[in-house]
Amino acid sequence: MNTRNRDQNTASLAAETTPTAPSRGSLSIEEQQALIEAARKQANLYEKTQRQAERESLLRLVGNQIRSSLNLDSILQTAVREVRELLDTDRVVIYHFVEGWRGQVVVEEVIEPWSSILGEMGADNCFAGEYGQLYVEGRVRAIADIQTDPGLDECHANFLKALQVRANLVVPIIIKDQLWGLLLAHECRDERVWQEWEQKLLVQLADQMAIAIQQAELFATVRHTAERESILRLVSNQIRSSLNLSEIQKTVVREIRKLLDTDRVVIYQFQTEWDGKVVVEDVRSPWQSVMDKYVSDTCFTPERAQQYQKGRIKAINDIHTSELDQCHIDFLADLQVKANLVVPINIGDRLWGLLIAHECSSPREWLNTEIETLQQLGDQVAIAIQQAELYGEVQASAQRYQDQAEQLKLAIAQLRNTQMQIIQREKMQSLGQMAAGLAHEINNANNFVYANIPYAQNYVANLTQALDAYTTSYDDVPQVVARINEAVDLNYVCRDFPKILKSMQEGSTRIREIVGTFRTFANLNRAEFCQVELNASLDSSLAILNSRLLPDMVIVKKYGKSAQVEGYPAQLNQVFYNLLENAFDAIGSFGSITIETKAVQEDPTETNSGLNEHLREHVLIKIKDSGAGVPADLRDRIFDPFFTTKPVGSGRGLGLSICHDIVVNSHCGEIHYISEPGKKGFFQVKLPCQLPIQPEDPATLSED
């Protein structure tokens, strides 16, 4: 019930509760006065009882809310609303001290036309430390009229006047012997004498509020501790289970921002000197991102860095009232920061960066639990960074060792390849030397035969002529001659012996041709960089492999008229020898080998992006055989070193690899195994007629 209506109600109640009595004329004055006094006492008792009931109802309401709810805002809002109605006053507020004796109105109930002061920071410069101590001791301040109160100084009167206050009642809210805040009732329209019961009511409510606040703070502390432990476990688990530093940092800033309910959390990494950048950020709308902007804090001095290296934690509740210099204030204001909390991220003795929480909406008093939480998470981030850096070093070392191992493996492979090339080269040189020696010895013996056959043919012709003349001149052949003729059939001998000499001459001529081929092979293996006749080189290789030519094998030669290129004859001999040897291996004991050579001149006006410029004029060599060919799944590997499809012990897998190296690297050509649908595969070699540069002989380099 409103106080302003209570007097009227009391008068009505007095009239209703006055006992029926004789007319006033029949009572004496003393009796009438006694009757009126009795009525007044009864009315006062009723009023007192009603006020007591209303107070108890309000206290029960607040007490029930405290017991049934942990929503502090709802409890305080209910309390100020009910108090304002019960006191029938204009405004009731709860003022909370934030820093020093400054604070803000956290809960308010106000009626029109009086203005709201909710959220305003206290600018009561008249509230000194001694006033605070008086309130801690339980002082209740009741001012009936700020204009006439003798204990109110002018400074305080002007402050209250600015808030439209004419009379006010102030009760402290004390928690653990500390002045948490004030419960204030404001009368704005007129002066007012605050009744004793009103003062007691506010005192009781302040005590109830202190219990609610303490309970809410305890719950918030417990919840904050649980959330902090949860985040610490989450980050620790991530550090143990993951080496993804970026994800760990993102988790930290996201969870911190939610836990502290702040506007922005960043991780700032130092780079050159004391400049750096924000590497991770979590920010809520509408506050701006500082990922690109927050680059260089020119106010960050080496002295301040040394403080952070020693573990300094900087909690700034309000950048404008802190001890920051103007440079730093302007820097933070430009980032929309009103309060911030900074903890270092130290890796050993090195200041890696900073973990920073930004409050952008308003100043903020950072709690000790919040500072401890940020410090602990800063340590966790340092562990994650150190672990990631260590892992990076291990990975780099492992990569270096792997690279070295790969280089060593490659060097060993090159060494083996070079060794086999040298062996092959020596083999070909030995074959050339052997061919030269055989050619010399065979040629010496054959020369006697070849040179004397014409004489023998002349002698046979003369003898035959003489024998014919003798038999013609004498009709009666002596008995001895007749017996000899009958025994040897001189007529047959005379007919057949020239044929034998002719066959011997042809054989000797063939021996001379083979000896010439041997000499060509030997000379090619001794020659340096020069013009090479490929048809002759192919023939010489065939001659060396002639022992493998069986009766059921056919060699088909389709040589072009001119097949000359620049190169190393010995190396090209080795290529053709290896390819022809593979062809013999492929056909087994019967089949055919076809060798084609053709000089090709490409039209320079034709577009052919796949053709090297120096290959526009080239010689094309195709070696085909009637064997089974190379399986499709192995064709991409046939030129790899040490790869072979032959049985173990039948080949080292270097022949085609050496061919590829000689053709491609030493002669700037191309070598491919070509398989056309429905046809046998074949090897195709392209050699430029003229090399762009004279390559060095790799075998010579290997020997060096």
Same domain, 511 and 590: no
Q: Residue 543 pLDDT more than 60?
A: yes
Same domain, 680 and 659: yes
Instruction: Locate the DSSP E strands across 119-177.
Output: 141-143, 167-175
Among 287-296, 438-447, 517-526, 655-664, which stretch is predicted with the lowest mean pLDDT?
A: 517-526
Q: Residue 5 pLDDT more than 50?
A: no
pLDDT digits (tens, 9 = 90+) for 290-299: 886 655 666 7
pLDDT digits (tens, 9 = 90+) for 65-104: 666 666 788 888 888 888 888 888 999 999 998 766 778 8
pTM of this structure? 0.47
- Is there a domain that residue 160 lies in? yes
Same domain, 22 and 142: no
Q: What's the pLDDT at 9? A: 46
How many Cβ atoms from other residues are within 10 Å of residue 148's Cβ? 10
Same domain, 507 and 622: no
Q: What's the pLDDT at 7? A: 46
- Is there a domain that residue 383 lies in? no
Six token digits for residue 591: 């089949």
Same domain, 575 and 510: no
Same domain, 25 and 114: no
Distance CA 463, CA 33 (A): 199
- Is there a domain that residue 249 lies in? yes
Distance CA 202, CA 221 (A): 27
The domain boundary residue, chosen from 476, 505, 522: 522
Same domain, 701 and 587: yes
Kindly indicate the confidence band of residue 702, based on its pLDDT and cuts at 50, 70 and 90: very low
> Taking residues 357-367, what's their average pLDDT?
91
- Is there a domain that residue 229 lies in? no
Q: What's the pLDDT at 623? A: 92
Residue span of the structural domain in which 327 resides: 242-366
Distance of CA 529 to the CA centre of its chain: 52
Same domain, 673 and 595: yes
- Is there a domain that residue 382 lies in? no
> Taking residues 593-616, what's their average pLDDT?
70
SS3 content of the chain, % helix, strand, coil (to 5): 55, 20, 30
pLDDT digits (tens, 9 = 90+) for 29-71: 877 777 777 777 776 666 666 666 666 666 666 666 666 666 7
Q: Kindly give the interhelix angle for 490-526 and 368-473, rounded to the nearest 10 degrees.
A: 150
pLDDT digits (tens, 9 = 90+) for 95-136: 998 766 778 899 999 999 999 998 865 555 666 656 778 888
pLDDT digits (tens, 9 = 90+) for 490-528: 778 888 888 888 888 878 877 776 777 666 666 655 557
Same domain, 266 and 310: yes
Same domain, 447 and 547: no
Q: Are strands 670-674 and 141-143 parallel, antiparallel or unpaired?
A: unpaired
Among 211-215, 327-331, 578-582, which stretch is predicted with the lowest mean pLDDT?
A: 211-215
Average pLDDT, the chain: 80
- Is there a domain that residue 389 lies in? no
Residue bearing the bigger pLDDT, 606 or 14: 606
Number of domains in the chain: 5
Distance CA 10, CA 47 (A): 7
Pick the closest to residue 630 from 604, 656, 649 (CA basis): 656
CATH code for the domain of 155: 3.30.450.40
- Is there a domain that residue 496 lies in? yes
pLDDT digits (tens, 9 = 90+) for 411-423: 887 787 777 767 7
Same domain, 186 and 286: no
> Taking residues 444-470, what's their average pLDDT?
81
- Is there a domain that residue 657 lies in? yes
Q: What's the pLDDT at 431? A: 64
In the chain, the percentage of residues whose pLDDT exceeds 70 is 80
Kindly indicate the confidence band of residue 236, based on its pLDDT and cuts at 50, 70 and 90: confident
Same domain, 414 and 310: no
Among 48-62, 222-236, 339-353, 536-550, which stretch is predicted with the lowest mean pLDDT?
A: 48-62
CATH code for the domain of 691: 3.30.565.10
